[in-house]
Amino acid sequence: MAINKVKGTYDVLPTESYLWKALEDKIRSTLKVYNIKEIRTPIMEYSEVFHRQSELSDMVTKETYDFDDRGDRKLTLRPEGTAGVIRAYVENKLYATQELEKVYYIGPNFRYERPQKGRYRQFYQFGVEAIGAVDPALDAEMIILAYDFIKRLGLKGVRVRINSLGDDESRKFYQQALIDHFTPHESTLCEDCKARLSKNPLRILDCKVDQKHPAIKEAPIPQDFLNEFSKTYFQEVLEHLNASKIDYEIAHKLVRGLDYYSHTVFEIEADIEGFGAQNVLGGGGRYQKLVSELGGPDLGGIGFACGMERLLLALEAENVQLAKDTDLDAFVIAFGNEVKTTATKILYELRKADIIADMNYTQKAFKGQLKQALRLNAKFLIILGEEEFKRGVVGIKNTKTEVQEEVLISKIKKYLLEKLEKK
């Protein structure tokens, strides 16, 4: 009996992997311009990295993959990237050598939720974290970076949705206002929102079940409860965005899905054919207590993340091609086992010169080898028969012009480098 992949996971096949590589290359080249370095953290952490007393989001309370290892240690597969990065930042005391640490990551995360198109139980994200400073200009830089990256992909209608949750004081007043607002409607809320009312009322605004509930539509907004410091901070973030002519709108009820956010939260959207209202491609926000909660100093940070699968679906929907699948430069067609060792030698010499080359290994006749070469879009055929071998030559055929020339075996590399215009 065949064994299938685990529910909520997927295979990236050889016909698709080049698209992933192209997207990753675009990420790395963009972040290099912003002077942001890569960090790689484990896909599993001790459970307390994610299961903190202050984090009551559905992602942590319902969707994590938790298990005990053979030493009875409680571990969790990471459901998001930020907490693991902060753990590494604190454990390695990066704050001692760098006032501001700007890092990015690319890798898999794991959440036990209902699989659907573009949403999986194992999914890939790239994210950026800037840790160690509280500055509206830094918040703006992270927003501009996320906006700039989506535009660099070639997507249209890119815009930012932004909001402020304010500092601790502002958030406390806002939470109480939400409790006062929702308490009369408690009996009509879903079971999850009834629990959220006392524990974390902001999560009610993010509820998928009660999304169209009249009480949510009429709920108070964070801006009405911002103190002077929070108002000024948010206004300065917007001024930086205005200076850079970033297309944004204030989304008064945007709270994002994690409890560690404060002050600035944002999402990046684009116009995607067929995506409808589900056109959010990434988002993030500022966090003030996460570093200290994980044992570090009292330092703030800001970050964002984008789902790789969603980005690839958006590019496909908009017919944006970041790259083409790699075509072969040359395919060696060898007749008989006597010349096959020479074919192997030719391949090695070509590959040392970065010429993309291959040959057949399934004992096919000439016609079968030719079909394989054309299916792989080989630019040149290197035809090596026993008679040619005795004379120390091969026939090299340009598959586009169908012109064939005889070339000394010792000159194949030089000939192809000139024809391919490779340095």
* CATH number of residue 244's parent domain: 3.30.930.10
Predicted pLDDT of residue 58:
67
The residues pairing with 334 across neighbouring beta strands, listed in sequence order, are 384
Distance between CA atoms of residues 149 and 151, nearest Å:
5
Q: Are residues 21 and 86 in the same domain?
A: yes
| Higher pLDDT among residues 274 and 132, named by residue | 132
| Residues with Cβ within 8 Å of residue 276, at least 6 apart in sequence | none
The residues pairing with 123 across neighbouring beta strands, listed in sequence order, are 109
Q: How far is CA 153 from CA 22, 60, 118, 246, in A?
A: 10, 31, 18, 16
Distance between CA atoms of residues 217 and 119, nearest Å:
26
Distance between CA atoms of residues 20 and 36, nearest Å:
20
Which of 364, 363, 269, 360 shows the shortest CA–CA distance to 310? Answer: 269
Structural domain for 336, as ranges: 330-420
Q: How far is CA 191 from CA 195, 207, 214, 216, 256, in A?
A: 7, 11, 17, 15, 20
Predicted pLDDT of residue 210:
75
Q: Are residues 408 and 299 in the same domain?
A: no
200 domain residue, yes or no: no
CB 300 within 8 A of CB 322: no
Query: What would the pLDDT profile of 141-154 be if each residue is shown by its tens digit?
Result: 999 999 999 999 99
46 domain residue, yes or no: yes
Cα-Cα-Cα-Cα torsion 8, 12, 16, 20, nearest 10 degrees, comes to 90
Q: Are residues 299 and 338 in the same domain?
A: no
| Higher pLDDT among residues 412 and 219, named by residue | 412
Provide the number of structural domains found in the chain: 2
217 domain residue, yes or no: no
**Taking 60 as the threshold, does the pLDDT of residue 423 lie above it?**
no
Structure tokens at 21: 């590589």
Q: Which of 286, 317, 348 is the last residue of a domain?
A: 317
Distance between CA atoms of residues 332 and 381, nearest Å:
6
Burial class (CB in 10 A: 0-12, 13-18, 19+), 160: buried
Long-range contacts of 347-352 (CB under 8 A, 24+ apart): 349/412, 349/413, 350/412, 350/413, 350/416
Q: Are residues 261 and 153 in the same domain?
A: yes
Mean pLDDT of all residues in 8-19: 94
Query: What would the pLDDT profile of 379-417 be if each residue is shown by its tens digit?
Result: 999 999 988 899 999 999 999 999 999 999 999 999 999
Distance of CA 294 to the CA centre of its chain: 25
Q: Are residues 367 and 293 in the same domain?
A: no
Q: Are residues 388 and 259 in the same domain?
A: no
44 domain residue, yes or no: yes
296 domain residue, yes or no: yes
Distance between CA atoms of residues 338 and 89, nearest Å:
59
Distance between CA atoms of residues 195 and 61, nearest Å:
12
**φ/ψ (deg, to 5) at 51:** -90, 70
Q: Are residues 406 and 299 in the same domain?
A: no
Q: Are residues 378 and 308 in the same domain?
A: no
322 domain residue, yes or no: no
- For the domain that residue 372 is a member of, what is the CATH number? 3.40.50.800
Query: What would the pLDDT profile of 28-79 be if each residue is shown by its tens digit?
Result: 999 999 999 999 999 999 999 999 877 666 677 789 999 999 999 999 999 9
Q: Are residues 132 and 270 in the same domain?
A: yes
Predicted pLDDT of residue 422:
61
Other C-beta atoms lying within 10 Å of the C-beta of residue 227: 14
Mean pLDDT of all residues in 173-200: 83
Predicted pLDDT of residue 193:
81
281 domain residue, yes or no: yes
* pTM of the shown model: 0.89
Whose structure tokens read 């053979």?
70
CB 305 within 8 A of CB 282: yes
Its sign, for the CA torsion 302, 160, 272, 157, is negative
Q: Are residues 114 and 231 in the same domain?
A: yes
Query: What would the pLDDT profile of 239-294 be if each residue is shown by its tens digit?
Result: 999 999 999 999 988 887 667 788 999 999 999 988 877 799 999 999 998 999 99
Residue 275: CA atoms inside 13 Å, Cβ hemisphere, count? 22
247 domain residue, yes or no: yes
CB 11 within 8 A of CB 122: no
